[in-house]
Amino acid sequence: MRGAFIMLLLLGAAFGSGCGTSDPPQPETRSTADSLLDRYTTVRLDADLGALDDARRGVIRLLVEAAHEMDSIYWRQAYGEAEPLLAAISDPGLRRYAQINYGPWDRLADNEPFIAGVGPKPRGANFYPADMSVEEFEAAAEENPALESLYTMVRRDATGGLVAIPYRAYFEVPVLRAAEKVRQAAQLAEEPGLKRYLELRADALETDEYRASDMAWMDMKDNVIDVVIGPIETYEDQLFGYKAAHEAFVLVKDLEWSGRLARYTRLLPSLQRGLPVAEQYKQESPGTESDLGAYDAIYYAGDANAGAKTIAINLPNDADVQLQKGTRRLQLKNAMRAKFDEILVPIAGVLIAEDQQANVTFDAFFGNTMFHEVAHGLGIKNTVSGRGTVREALRDHASALEEGKADILGLYMVTTLQEEGELDASLADHYVTFLAGIFRSVRFGAASAHGRANMVRFNYFKERGAFSRTEEGVYRVDPDAMRAAVDALSETILVLQGEGEYAAVDSFAARYGAVDPQLAADLLRVNEANIPVDIVFEQGVSVLQNAGS
């Protein structure tokens, strides 16, 4: 199997230019389809619902049906109408790959096209007109701020000017269907908090007003069933980072594991005060009502299901809600275990020094992922330089830098809590597993915010001597140097966010974001070992145990 990004970059040279769906797509060869699909391993999203009563199983079925609608909306946001593209692809393997990617661009290969004739992916996906310039948009947005809304599609009117069409109108039919299913689920819901949230979320889908439902989601404490549904993350919009894409997760809470995690959110204020950065970059107080729990995922849809799969959730993204109530951090335990067993352990066998391979553990992987999500609540959401929120100031760089912050501050939290006796953990396990995790995530490519964040961190750690590469081509962590590098990178990222200077972040990303030839060769060794890059799901009510009818 060729390298995920290397092969597609070579293939991309043969493709014509153009945008979106302007020409009928022509499929590549069958051998290409096989090699593309080999990047994923199929995981059955199974969960035993036997302990749930009929009402709760009914809620799950309705929420899965609502989640289906997020798929159709997300296709139109990421690419356009799905059916013409899929119908034009005769090769079933490539058709399946287009379904995995929600379009003809490979999300594991920097969005290079794998269907001839489609051209490069627009940086703004399908949220904006393909012929729109940045300058045109910015000038129009000064007159019409709705163009910058999280919840509008930008289109041209009859005169060629830019207009903002609310999601509730542009996607009216699937939005109304989803809202009706969520409302029906609310009628069956037994937990008052879940019922209230579902009622408000159905309203939000129909109005594009999400704050009240976000607040209600934060207030849920005892729910066994959970759902995240609607326009959430802005990763798909790589032009400005303004537009939220539709997605859904349907989840069942693991009460035993959640009990182990509940104690850490109360420590956020002290962790914020101890951040290794000057006082002005940690002046905000994180919310302390945050909920930390473990869940089994039973359905992914839309943005959540595109390309590389999320294994943890930190929401809501609304900065005001975060400051008032914090966030909820949901660890998707079954998806996480699948990635650890099928991908991370085999990668460690290729790239981690033999004497440190035993330090790659699921507990450390789970902990690093968990504290990544908790760390989103640390730092600041508003610049100290008067440039507005960090998201507004850093635009298309905001998501990747925020992911980098969460990764590095998560490791800072592990280190601090272990040293203070609040966490029973091996720092060596967490550090070595963290490095192995970088190799896993870098394979997602630079089109992914997580992939870019990991590449920056790898090069920064390399520069600081946090790890070394032996003559045999394997990597060994230096715990003391890693500890120092964690503090240094934490400070750097917090200052970049606090200042909100776009050019400085752009320069930082350019300096540390490249894949050097040595790392590319090492990743090629991983690919040649037939280790998948990520997972794809067999999912739905039909695969659940005791789901009822």
Q: What is the pLDDT of residue 233?
A: 96
Task: Identify the DSSP state of 385.
Answer: S
CATH code: domain of residue 311? 3.30.540.30
Q: What is the pLDDT of residue 259?
A: 77
- Characterize the bridge pairing of strands 475-477 and 328-332: unpaired
**Claim to verify: residue 258 and residue 331 sit in the same structural domain:** yes
* Domains identified in the chain, total number: 2
**Claim to verify: residue 439 and residue 473 sit in the same structural domain:** yes
**Claim to verify: residue 93 and residue 218 sit in the same structural domain:** no
- Report yes or no on 157 lying in a domain: no
- Report yes or no on 371 lying in a domain: yes
**Claim to verify: residue 530 and residue 433 sit in the same structural domain:** yes
- Report yes or no on 317 lying in a domain: yes
Q: What is the pLDDT of residue 48?
A: 78
Three-state SS at 545: strand
CA gap 98, 86 in Å, rounded:
7
Q: What is the pLDDT of residue 549?
A: 58
**Residue (of 344, 345, 332, 337) closest to 304 by Cα position:** 332
CA gap 140, 147 in Å, rounded:
8
List, run by run, the mean pLDDT of 10-residue segments along the chain (549 residues): 33 31 40 86 88 94 97 98 96 96 94 93 97 97 98 98 98 98 97 97 98 96 93 96 97 84 77 93 76 90 95 90 87 94 97 98 92 86 94 90 92 93 94 95 70 87 96 96 96 97 94 89 92 94 75
**Claim to verify: residue 75 and residue 91 sit in the same structural domain:** no
Q: What is the pLDDT of residue 168?
A: 98
**Exposure of 440 in the CB half-sphere (CA atoms within 13 A):** 28
Q: What is the pLDDT of residue 448?
A: 63
Q: Structural domain of residue 501, as residue ranges?
A: 46-79+125-136+167-543
Backbone angles phi, psi at 275, to 5 degrees: -55, 140
Which amino acid is it at 99?
Q
Q: What is the pLDDT of residue 373?
A: 80
Q: What is the pLDDT of residue 487?
A: 95
- Residue the block writes with tokens 């275990």: 337
Q: What is the pLDDT of residue 547?
A: 67
Q: What is the pLDDT of residue 64?
A: 97
Helix (H) or strand (E) holding 374: helix 362-375
- Report yes or no on 289 lying in a domain: yes
- DSSP output for 238-295: -SSS-PPPEEEEEEEE-HHHHHHHTTSGGGHHHHHHT-SS-GGGG-S---S--EEEEE
**Claim to verify: residue 316 and residue 416 sit in the same structural domain:** yes
CA gap 478, 472 in Å, rounded:
17
Instruction: Please give the model's pTM, rounded to 2 decimal places.
Output: 0.79
- Report yes or no on 155 lying in a domain: no
**Claim to verify: residue 26 and residue 53 sit in the same structural domain:** no
**Claim to verify: residue 307 and residue 224 sit in the same structural domain:** yes
**Residue (of 501, 472, 71) closest to 300 by Cα position:** 71
**Claim to verify: residue 74 and residue 98 sit in the same structural domain:** no
430, 410 Cβ separation under 8 angstroms: no
Q: What is the pLDDT of residue 449?
A: 65
- Report yes or no on 149 lying in a domain: no
CA gap 106, 80 in Å, rounded:
16
**Claim to verify: residue 306 and residue 291 sit in the same structural domain:** yes
- Report yes or no on 244 lying in a domain: yes
**Claim to verify: residue 110 and residue 227 sit in the same structural domain:** no
- Report yes or no on 296 lying in a domain: yes
Helix (H) or strand (E) holding 164: strand 162-166
Q: What is the pLDDT of residue 25?
A: 44
**Claim to verify: residue 97 and residue 172 sit in the same structural domain:** no
Helix (H) or strand (E) holding 329: strand 328-332
Give the dihedral sign, CA 44/438/404/100: negative
Which amino acid is it at 272?
Q
